Amino acid sequence: MEFHILTVFPEMFASPLQASVLQRAQVRGLLRVYLHNIRDFTRDRHRVTDDYAYGGGPGMIMKPGPIVSGIQAVQERFGRAYVILLSPQGILLTQRLVKNLAQQERLLLICGRYGGVDARVQAYVDAEVSIGDYVLTGGELPALVVLDAVGRLLPNVLGDEHSVTEDSLFHGLLQGPVYTRPEEFAGMRVPAILRSGNHAAIAVWRRRQALLTTLRRRPELLPQAPLTPQDLATLQALQTQEALQEQATEHTS
């Protein structure tokens, strides 16, 4: 898969792309990343990429000309790309959207800067995407988030150390607690079940812990998660148990 990134700060991408999974995917030819400097698509002597907002207001606005020239140049040279503008006004990036994007052969990610991008760029964009409701200084870190999330889904990118199939086993749920050595740390022991060697019992325990963690921290995820009738029964029991626990602490406070 091919990623093209249009940015005024291509240097922000260097070290994340040169480490870990994304680095290995590029070396193995599974992923190609091309950085394009928006400044290279300006036509004026001072290579200006932003300007004051019509109507006034804080922050500089990215000019449409250089960005649209960049989009067109990339598509003329490399072929049709699915064009994404990273912006705080975009649709939220979810694992579902990440999976859809992973089906594309070529993505072109446009990074705006604080202040925003001239609205007329939208006419050249297939989707506008945000990574969450907090304010960043630009679209570069969000572009890296998209690249990381999509890149790990590409065939053969992940080794055994991360597993996409294990993920799908816990589809829509949060992960429960996990442990490694030592068996005892700061007086806290690894749950005995995980050292039992009983793989069926371990799978049941893990599922229950995933349900419990999701119930406690992100209950709004549960209606969306693919749950078995057994899961629903477990959840009922956990909910009752949590309510009783809550009552008990009420009496001692």
Q: By CB under 6 A, name the binding residues for ligand 9D3.
A: 58-59, 86-88, 112, 114-116, 130-132, 134-139, 142
Nearer to ligand 9D3, 60 or 204 (CB): 60
Q: How far is the CB of 111 from ligand 9D3 (least distance, A)?
A: 7
What is d(CA 249, CA 211) in angstroms, rounded to the nearest whole number?
22
Q: How far is the CB of 96 from ligand 9D3 (least distance, A)?
A: 17
What is d(CA 99, CA 150) in angstroms, rounded to the nearest whole number?
7
Nearer to ligand 9D3, 114 or 170 (CB): 114
Q: How far is the CB of 143 from ligand 9D3 (least distance, A)?
A: 8
A 10 A CB-CB count for 133 gives 7
Nearer to ligand 9D3, 8 or 157 (CB): 8
Q: How far is the CB of 214 from ligand 9D3 (least distance, A)?
A: 24
Nearer to ligand 9D3, 58 or 187 (CB): 58
Nearer to ligand 9D3, 82 or 114 (CB): 114
Q: How far is the CB of 60 from ligand 9D3 (least distance, A)?
A: 10
